A and B are shown apart, each in its own frame.
Chain A
């Protein structure tokens, strides 16, 4: 039988506010345990939550970016369950009335097409603390630094049909929240993580199969592998006459498998009800307009603009706009050298390679965009060749100064004096009479040999176009 995979993702993105969603405690990652938890985060008797306005603003930005409805009135509710790292015995979340609903995102498919993925809702909630099982013997340590960190949970429709689509959607959303500047996207620190609802059904069947929820996937690779494993598992189960049970599963990356965590019967009754400590969040049309006015250009729009304004290919534009940092860097380079295609090639080639080698982010590049623009200008004005430029770039990366300085210091200025080039060509021809003979008798391939000899003699500094032109003329005996 042919099976169809159905996937919906719940993505938790941590909003990058300075303080927590309901308290004034800091949200910075990596502090000493329990040093960033105030009385409110600890759930002491008598404390009350106060909503951080910056959180609402960031949620509205997200809502606008996915073309969703922003609720004029949304309500915080309590999700009640006992857990040691949940200090109040309930999590403040949104339930019946989320702040954002009915949006969508377009993903690029491998075949070059696009697909619209529906987003059911996005709601605000507080994160829980962490249970630390190592280092306390038979005991469990509780670190409440993370308790109260603002999260937006983005719930997709079950529109995804493969692990690849799921990853494409997740990457798209990842880029989007970083573009918006509402989430740092750091997946290792858990700032962007995902639960995947996975089911299969016979191809052509309308009704959904029973789903399993895979919890806490914190890398693109794990999402893909966990879904693929889970799909296989469910198909094997069904084809051998079994049934899928609705349950929560955990992905174990070491063994590359998912394992049952708890079944539906063991699931909590969360006893949601509106939190009486918080007023409904009201958002007026003018609030939305004010946020709209501050929205950055979004990835899709930027890509279209790059294609239009810089005459880039879809692929190049997509690569350069994958992150806001790279796109900004690119535009800064182009502003300084007016060579959009050349700049694109450089950024996707040598620049990205250098970043990867040094394990740096775009923002940490030792070569500023203005400096790179100067280098590309020297290629444009034929001061140096593209090949020499690579050497100059490496020197710039190593901190030896700007392009002009390195070109001067190393004597790399291109030879464009035709007299000088002709002299060198004559020397090379004179030194290789047999090759000349063969070339003239029809062995065209030897043209490359002569170019190489000329470039070698000039240490690569001869203008390649000129060398080609003049060498060809001389070899033909003109």
Chain B
């Protein structure tokens, strides 16, 4: 049995070579057999999946077409799913069953997707290694002693191990791209406002953006077709028509100008990583792209600015988890203050608490101007850097992460080192731009990701460049041997 891509499965479903139920059973079987080793799912929903598959089979029998009709997918456990637990990787929401579907879930369901379950993640999407999950760490299918990246580590690992052909992720500072790079899959964080945030549990509202993770750029394009679009329930969603992201995949790369920020290829980059990235860039050059050096002079400020803005917003966004209406409530509260303090002390993990404290501090009277306001100014400087760069180039490329997947526990005691793991991805969120990561080679057996950054709403171009690369190379087709 080969494990095909979404696009191949879609063709075979339409040709009636396989039914949606058979496809769901195939992947549910793999989850059951193989997930114990990597812990990529928090919740598996076989009954719902088979019912959805049967419904999809009936639609297929009627000759209906829809972007994800009959295709198995997984939802990151940050997206609310009606009637199914939505934990956000936290003890706080361990018993929370959402009474509604997130817009992304609603759209994917309408597009015929068959949800197999909810994937593991860093608690409230705060983490770069998937070690902060209440449900235990996810392991990297390429080496179970290593982390899959985070926070969408469950989705990345599940796709890498082919426990599901595609999954959703969310990206606040690199949470789609870094795990995609660590696990050797393709993932795209769309332009801020492309994908509705309604029903996507908020971490840092001005940075959060949902996007697809899959084995190929083509599959990501297919997923994004179902996920993207204006949503009147999200005031920050952008009211503009959504193109068919698969339509431009075949475009050649002649005259494409790729910018290489000199700051991304500086001292912090390991020599082997640099070689893999440069080899990948050479492939693009051979296909007609021109490589141009550009500069993003303020990129060094992105990590500090991010760790002001994101915790500030999170400290406010997570205030609603107070033990009053839903979520974890401590036993036998003595009074209101005790209810608040113990419910939150027990319900949140250490990293979440750390960020709530940082955020509360930077927003306090007397500190607001020095931290939050300053960070917002840095955001504008960073966005200006990109604006200037995109006057010269169409796409910016570089490494997704400065390093290979690290070992479990290696950075747990050192949050600053952990935060620096997102040094190349964070600026993209601060500017609101689209960014993609795809497998570009390996070091040893471990995958290395290439990041492509596009101008606002230029997701189609990023997917096109990645697809052209994937026509030429087979890195995206590699599978970890234990899961073949």
C-alpha spacing A278/B234, complex, angstroms: 9
Residue contact B197 to A48, C-beta cutoff 8 Å: yes
- List of B residues within 8 angstroms of A29 by Cβ: none
- List of B residues within 8 angstroms of A50 by Cβ: 232-235
Known: A84-B324, A278-B235. A273 touches B319 (CB 8 A): no
C-alpha spacing A39/B101, complex, angstroms: 11
**A85 CB → nearest B CB, Å:** 9
Binds B, one of A87-95, A304-312, A422-430: A87-95
The reply on B198 being an interface residue by CB < 8 A is yes
- List of A residues within 8 angstroms of B201 by Cβ: 45-46
C-alpha spacing A44/B322, complex, angstroms: 12
Digitize B218-249: 1 where CB-to-A-CB distance is under 8 Å, 0 elsewhere. 00000000000000111110000000000000
The reply on A389 being an interface residue by CB < 8 A is no
- List of A residues within 8 angstroms of B326 by Cβ: 44
The reply on A82 being an interface residue by CB < 8 A is yes
C-alpha spacing A276/B204, complex, angstroms: 9
Residue contact A82 to B233, C-beta cutoff 8 Å: no
The reply on B206 being an interface residue by CB < 8 A is yes
A59-91 contacts to B (CB < 8 Å): 78, 80, 82, 84, 87-90
C-alpha spacing A273/B374, complex, angstroms: 13
- List of B residues within 8 angstroms of A279 by Cβ: 235-236
> Majority SS of interface residues in chain A?
loop
Residue contact B313 to A269, C-beta cutoff 8 Å: no
- List of A residues within 8 angstroms of B313 by Cβ: 276
Residue contact B80 to A46, C-beta cutoff 8 Å: yes
Residue contact B235 to A39, C-beta cutoff 8 Å: no
**For residue B359, which residue of chain A has the nearest CB?**
A271
C-alpha spacing A46/B79, complex, angstroms: 8
C-alpha spacing A78/B102, complex, angstroms: 23
Known: A45-B86, A271-B316. A82 touches B199 (CB 8 A): no
C-alpha spacing A272/B233, complex, angstroms: 24
**B118 CB → nearest A CB, Å:** 14
C-alpha spacing A273/B324, complex, angstroms: 24
Digitize B167-206: 1 where CB-to-A-CB distance is under 8 Å, 0 elsewhere. 0000000000000000000000000000001111110111
The reply on A49 being an interface residue by CB < 8 A is yes
**A155 CB → nearest B CB, Å:** 20
The reply on B364 being an interface residue by CB < 8 A is yes
B327-386 contacts to A (CB < 8 Å): 336, 340, 360, 363-365, 368, 372
List the 9 shortest-distance A-B pairs measured between CB atoms, nearest first: A89-B319, A271-B363, A276-B206, A276-B205, A46-B199, A43-B320, A45-B201, A46-B201, A46-B80
Q: Which residues of A contact B (CB under 8 A)?
A: 39, 42-51, 78, 80, 82, 84, 87-90, 142, 269, 271-273, 276-279
| Given contact pairs A44-B99, A45-B320, A271-B316, a sample of 15 additional A-B residue pairs in the complex whose CB atoms are under 8 Å apart | A44-B80, A44-B98, A45-B96, A46-B79, A46-B198, A50-B235, A82-B322, A84-B336, A89-B316, A89-B318, A89-B322, A90-B316, A271-B363, A276-B206, A279-B235
Q: Which residues of B contact A (CB under 8 A)?
A: 79-80, 86, 88, 93, 96, 98-100, 102, 197-202, 204-206, 232-236, 312-313, 315-316, 318-320, 322, 324-326, 336, 340, 360, 363-365, 368, 372
8 contacts between A and B (CB under 8 A): A44-B98, A45-B88, A45-B202, A46-B79, A50-B235, A87-B325, A89-B319, A271-B368
